[in-house]
């Protein structure tokens, strides 16, 4: 089973990299970009076959390591 | 005073820290990150600056989950003195020993320069040899030093007298210009500036010297 974890800075936490990307897009003539938030995607290849067990396990991974929940939120996709 | 300096792959201020502690009179042992136990009879642990594990995932994240860090957390929870500088500060926030997180500098640039700090409190072993509101010069060298904490929690740190240092001229966007933070029991300190880099006349200044002298003096009294 494969899991995909999306990690983003929480709403309200300033994302200076996203802001820099927004400015660069503006410089290229993309005037309509009102906000950019940059995050990361982590792909996991799991031995687990049971979806609900895998979800519990990946959630634990997120809480313990993959995301810093002080500043980041995460979303899990299983397939 | 028996001190340990933790070494991770990518640590690069470990020897500077050891030299500064030694010069102040500490007996220093270097401890590799794969060790599970700290040396016996330890008074103090320092987590040095650098780029542990190449800053992979998040700064300090992998180091904070290394075997030795479990022991460092246990040591701190037993009332031990733990000091994290720069990457060490990032590691301490990742372990949860200190609140908040360090984000990319607001200006997005790596900054390496001397900055002026204000000593906010002398009520800690680390700041005991300074005077309140004393202005000291200490070098910074970081890309991710933007201390992030919500406004209420930042205010709480000031109310509890847990802000050790602030920047006179905020270089990185840190909330309320906070440069160094103490734990509730005031024995764990994390800060982005490097006192160990200005603790000997040969380094061009000695404003970091009282930091180590005061620390060792206070620990001797405990």
A72-78/B2-7 β-pairing: unpaired
What residues in A contact B107, CB-CB < 8 Å?
A: 16
- Per-residue pLDDT at A32: 93
Distance between CA B40 and CA A13 in Å, rounded? 41
Nearest by CB to residue A65, choosing from B65, B99, B148, is: B65
Residue A16 binned pLDDT confidence (cut-offs 50, 70, 90):
confident
- Per-residue pLDDT at B222: 80
Residue A41's Cα: distance from chain center in Å?
Answer: 5
The total of other beta-carbon atoms located within 10 Å of residue B25's CB is: 13
What residues in B contact A9, CB-CB < 8 Å?
A: 103
Is the separation of the CB atoms in B212 and B121 below 8 Å? Answer: no
CB interface of A with B, residues 20-79, below 8 Å: 20, 64-66, 68, 70-71
- Per-residue pLDDT at A12: 87
- Per-residue pLDDT at A39: 96
Distance between CA B39 and CA B29 in Å, rounded? 8
Is the Cβ pair A68, B104 closer than 8 Å? Answer: no
User: ipTM of this predicted complex?
Assistant: 0.87
pLDDT means over runs of 10, chain B (222 residues)? 97 97 97 96 97 96 96 97 98 98 94 98 98 98 96 97 98 98 98 97 97 96 84
What's the full length of chain B, in residues? 222
Secondary structure in 3-state letters for A38-72: CCEEEEEECCCCCHHHHHHHHHHHHHHHHCCCCCE
CA neighbours closer than 13 Å in the CB half-sphere of residue B108: 9
Residue A17 binned pLDDT confidence (cut-offs 50, 70, 90):
confident
- Per-residue pLDDT at A41: 98
- Per-residue pLDDT at A76: 98
Closest residue by Cα to residue B144 from B113, B107, B95, B194: B107
Distance between CA B144 and CA B197 in Å, rounded? 18
Domain A2-78 class, CATH top level: alpha beta
Distance between CA B93 and CA B84 in Å, rounded? 9
What residues in A contact B100, CB-CB < 8 Å?
A: 70
């Amino acid at each position: 089973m494969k899991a995909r974890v999306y990690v983003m800075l929480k709403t309200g936490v300033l994302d200076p990299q996203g802001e820099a990307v927004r400015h660069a897009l503006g410089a290229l003539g993309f005037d309509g970009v009102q906000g950019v938030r940059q995050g990361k995607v982590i792909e996991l290849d799991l031995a687990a076959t049971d979806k609900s067990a895998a979800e519990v396990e990946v959630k634990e991974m997120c809480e313990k390591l993959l995301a810093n929940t002080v500043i980041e939120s995460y979303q899990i996709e299983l397939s | 005073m028996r001190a340990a300096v933790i070494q991770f792959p990518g640590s690069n201020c470990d020897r500077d820290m050891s030299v500064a502690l030694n010069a102040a009179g500490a007996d220093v042992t270097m401890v590799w990150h794969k060790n599970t136990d700290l040396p016996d009879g330890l008074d103090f642990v320092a987590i040095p600056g650098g780029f542990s594990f190449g800053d992979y995932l998040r700064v300090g994240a992998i180091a904070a989950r290394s075997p030795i860090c479990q022991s460092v957390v246990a040591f701190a929870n037993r009332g031990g003195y733990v000091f994290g500088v720069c990457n060490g500060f990032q590691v301490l926030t990742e372990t949860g020993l200190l609140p908040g997180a360090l984000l990319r500098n607001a200006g997005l640039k790596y900054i390496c320069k001397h900055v002026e700090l204000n000593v906010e409190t002398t009520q800690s072993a680390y700041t005991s040899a300074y005077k309140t509101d004393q202005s000291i010069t200490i070098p910074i060298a970081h890309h991710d030093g933007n201390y992030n904490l919500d406004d209420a929690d930042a205010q709480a740190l000031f109310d509890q007298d847990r802000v050790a240092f602030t920047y006179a001229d905020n270089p990185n966007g840190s909330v309320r210009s906070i440069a160094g933070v103490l734990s509730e029991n005031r024995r764990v300190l994390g800060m982005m500036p490097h006192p160990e880099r200005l603790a000997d006349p040969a380094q061009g200044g000695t404003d970091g010297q009282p930091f180590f002298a005061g620390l060792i003096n206070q620990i001797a009294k405990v």
